[in-house]
Amino acid sequence: MSQLATSLPAYISKDVEEASETSSLEMREGFHLLVSMIQHEETRRKALQKADKGIRTSVKSNATWLRTVFVWRVSSLFITGIFDRIHQSKTLIPSNHRNDRWT
Amino acid sequence: MDVIFVPWTLCTLNAVLWQVLDSTIGLDYPTDTTFEWQSLHSAVFSTTLAFLLVFRLNRVALRWWETRRMWGVIVEQIRILVASAMEYMQHSPELRDQLVAWTLGFAVASKQLLRKDVTINLHELAGILSPDQVERMSSAKHPPLYAAGMARHVICRALRVNHEISSGEATSHSLNRQMLENNVTTLIQNIGGMERVSSTPLPLVYVAHLRTFLMIYLLSIPYLYGSSWHYWTIPNVFVLSFALLGIDGAAADCEIPFMKNRANHLDMEAYCLGAMNNVIQIMIQAKELQQQSVLQSQECSLRQTVTARP
């Protein structure tokens, strides 16, 4: 835009600059949602982060065996804290999901 | 692990009980018929169990992939709808933004519905919908349907055909409205599909039959093979129970994959976040393209002015 403005006569370049300022202002005004979304991006990201320490967050690599080791780790944690976990799973699982379980 | 813990413990305790009885009382087996029983046990139970376990795991894998596919379609339709709105609703920026906001609201509302959460966390739609709008959507009986209804209403308002617009515009508006309407319909169809998966587990008869046979098989092992395995009966039953119950446990865990705190369930937060990031990218691109076209048209008109001046 500035290249165009400098290559034109003075009375025209002034018009161009004014016009470009006006249009960019209109652009910002026309995209309220975009501005708002960018402003609140961090809030949304934090809110939508998965709360559990699942496979996706605990194992960074895509290696299948690493994921399997993670499952073993979770299983061993389950065995050590068995009663807490049973209680937790009962409180976390909604009743309609629970009816198909052994427990 | 938690899914199979009770039956696994039961089978192992049964093996321990057998071992204690055998050691203290000394169970007397009719050795001449043991082999026949073992053959029958192996042929009948193993075959039946193999069929049932494969069927169950297969059906659950299908359900899991189906739900993943439907979430993929929802994200895809959001992208298409927003990109189309950026092009065809330029004349009405406010309504265009509303359409984008309700479309993203649809994704988060779908997550809420499938999780059976009572409310939506306001922060999940920060900067997109106002707290009041989120409140109204989450308190609706079917939040995704509410969001889709709002999106459809916005489309109709933006692309209304009346006597004030030209016939060319009317044709264009009708076609664009139809296209956007189809996107909204696809969104509704896919949330419907996931609701079907969520509310309809595998018929009870399959699961009940499988589990009955599985438990009979595992509980009868010490009494049939104990005379041959002796002290190895307990670890053998422990491992065998884990292997077979684990298959059923995996199937049970993945059957309705919409819960938050399960590693194998769908990461719906990531899908919503991905859709939001895609939408931001589409909007930035649309903004830049719009700016470019405005500047190009200004440049053209200025050049015409310059050439027209004496």
Mapping DSSP onto H, E and C, the string for chain B reads CCCCHHHHHHHHHHHHHHHHHHHHCCCCCCHHHHHHHHHHHHHHHHHHHHHHHHHHHHHHHHHHHHHHHHHHHHHHHHHHHHHHHHHHCCCCHHHHHHHHHHHHHHHHHHHHHHHCCCCCCHHHHCCCCCHHHHHHHHCCCCHHHHHHHHHHHHHHHHCCCCCCCCHHHHHHHHHHHHHHHHHHHHHHHHHHHHHHHHHCCCCHHHHHHHHHHHHHHHHHHHHHHHHHHHHHHHHHHHHHHHHHHHHHHHHHHHCCCCCCCCCCCCCHHHHHHHHHHHHHHHHHHHHHHHHHHHHHHHHHHHHHHHHHCC
Contact between A40 and B127 using a beta-carbon 8 Å cutoff: yes
Average pLDDT of chain B is: 90
Where residue B184 falls among pLDDT bands split at 50, 70, 90?
very high
A6 contacts chain B (CB < 8 A): no
Is 60 exceeded by the pLDDT of residue B124?
yes
Contact between A52 and B276 using a beta-carbon 8 Å cutoff: no
| A/B interface, count of CB pairs below 8 Å | 142
pLDDT tens-digit profile of A41-91?
A: 999 988 887 654 455 555 555 566 666 666 676 666 666 665 565 555 555
Chain B residue at shortest CA distance from A50: B269
> Per the CB < 8 Å rule, is B5 touching A44?
no
Which residues in chain B (234-293) have CB-CB distances under 8 A to chain A? Answer: 252, 255-256, 259-263, 267, 269-270, 272-273, 276, 279-280, 283-284, 287, 290-291
By Cβ distance, the residue of B1, B123, B298 closest to A75 is B1
Q: Which of B199, B259, B295 sits opposite A1 (nearest CB)?
A: B295
User: What pLDDT digit, counting tens, does each position of A13-50 carry?
Assistant: 444 444 444 444 444 556 888 989 999 999 998 888 76
Interface of A with B in 59-88 (CB under 8 A): 71, 74-75, 78-79, 82, 85-86
More confident residue, B36 or A42: A42
pLDDT for B189 equals 97
